[in-house]
Amino acid sequence: MSNIFSKILKSRDNALAGSWMINSIAYSIVYPFILVYLHQTRNLPMEQAGLIFPIMASASIFVPPFAGWLSDRFPRTNLMRIAQGGRATLFLLLALMIHLEAPFWVFFVLFFINSGTGVIFENSADAYLSSFTTKEERPHAYSKIRIGINIGWALGPAAGAFLASWPYEWLFIITGCICICSERFIRYILKEDSCSNRDPVLKTAMEGKVQLWKDHYILAVLAGVFLLFMLSSQLYSVLSVYATKVVGLSRRELGFVYFFNGFTIIVGQLPVTTLMGKLKVSNNWRLVLGAGFYFIGYFILGFAGNFIEVVCSVIILTLGELIVQVAIYAVITAAAPAGQVGRYLSGWVFVRGVGAALGPYVGALLFARLTDSPILLWVILSGFGAAAGAVFAAVAFKQKRKVAE
């Protein structure tokens, strides 16, 4: 058995996927239950409890430029280890704050800092993958990362569901311990990455001005990504409260809803990526197709009335996730100039953070006003997916004309 694992982890993309898996298990144990804790256990009004998500996601607005610069300048494995060690400390502090029933502003501050350290880990890990893969290899390699992430997102909420009867602080203690395991895994399994900053040509590129803000193609793609994350960020925020409060799911059933989201990605990511390649669907058109599945999945949530129907909706929107996430990574890393991959990826993290900051809050406000009109609620929210698809389609047509010329 140990020989099998040794062979699997010998491949750097497999080892990196393992690192992401451990990271995701840790975070996903507590993430779906943050809003439930603040709103239902601490009795904070929904409009105020919903602020936790824009506060957390605001770290993805302020930290990415710094994280991108770091990942273009320093060994990415070291940055990943520092980030995981920091997150372990913060989760243990959060457990203590829950036990002491600390004021709400303490949770907001600690979650903000925790999210910032998470941005550094994510940016460094994504840049690390690009350092040992070619443009052609990246969709397949990133699919493995997605599988690792979602094994974690399948196991984490399921574990959280089984631990649902435990005091909330224990969820955070377990999460902190898993983050420590993640740091140790990176230390002993992943090969050190030097960013090739000894190459004088690449070093000059690293120190040069970032070209991202002049790259109209990538800026248009990021505009679509922003709209898409305004929608996709509802999955672990408003959906959790909607499913429990309106549809009537138990916390245990909610955990299994997220399990099916992760399980669909685990079994479907590589086959879907392979199929897209065989059909020769360009990455730009994959973005359009994926946005369409997102739109349909969230739209029909308004008609869901039980556990099975919620799961079916989530599986459909997950098909969009299977297609879109790999395509975004492939588009951005292919367009990034040498020595600026980390900073280009930080642009993705930035718009994702803005979408994740605004999306759950907008969703929470709409939910507070449209609790009795679920169809209208999800029609409005799914509109972000339709808008994203329109932006991606415009980009795809423009690129097609450009190639034809």
Distance in angstroms (rounded) separating the CA atoms of residues 51 and 47:
7
Cα–Cα nearest to 330, from 65, 130, 77: 130
Cα–Cα nearest to 220, from 391, 60, 377: 391
Query: Which of residues 250 and 380 earns the better pLDDT score?
Result: 380
Q: Give the per-residue pLDDT at 232.
A: 93
Query: Is residue 83 within 8 Å of 121, Cβ to Cβ?
Result: yes
Query: Is residue 255 within 8 Å of 402, Cβ to Cβ?
Result: no
Query: Is residue 364 within 8 Å of 230, Cβ to Cβ?
Result: no
One DSSP character per residue, 165-227 reads TS-HHHHHHHHHHHHHHHHHHHHHHSPP--TTTTSHHHHHHHHS---GGG-HHHHHHHHHHHH
Distance in angstroms (rounded) separating the CA atoms of residues 130 and 137:
9
Distance in angstroms (rounded) separating the CA atoms of residues 134 and 102:
49
In the predicted structure, residue 194 carries a pLDDT above the cut 70:
no
In the chain, pLDDT over 90 holds for what percent of residues?
38
Domains of the chain, with CATH numbers?
A: 10-404 (1.20.1250.20)
Average pLDDT, the chain: 85
Each residue of 76-107: pLDDT tens digit?
999 999 999 999 999 999 999 888 888 888 88
Neighbours of 165 (CB within 10 A): 8
Lowest-confidence segment of 22-36, 140-154, 202-216 by average pLDDT: 202-216
In the predicted structure, residue 223 carries a pLDDT above the cut 90:
yes
Cα–Cα nearest to 328, from 288, 279, 275, 373: 288
DSSP 40: I
Q: Give the per-residue pLDDT at 206.
A: 47
Q: Give the per-residue pLDDT at 137.
A: 86
pLDDT band for position 220 (cuts 50, 70, 90): very high
Best-predicted range by mean pLDDT (20-24, 62-66, 197-201, 224-228): 224-228
Query: Which of residues 357 and 126 earns the better pLDDT score?
Result: 126
Query: Is residue 183 within 8 Å of 81, Cβ to Cβ?
Result: yes
pLDDT band for position 381 (cuts 50, 70, 90): very high
Q: Give the per-residue pLDDT at 228.
A: 95
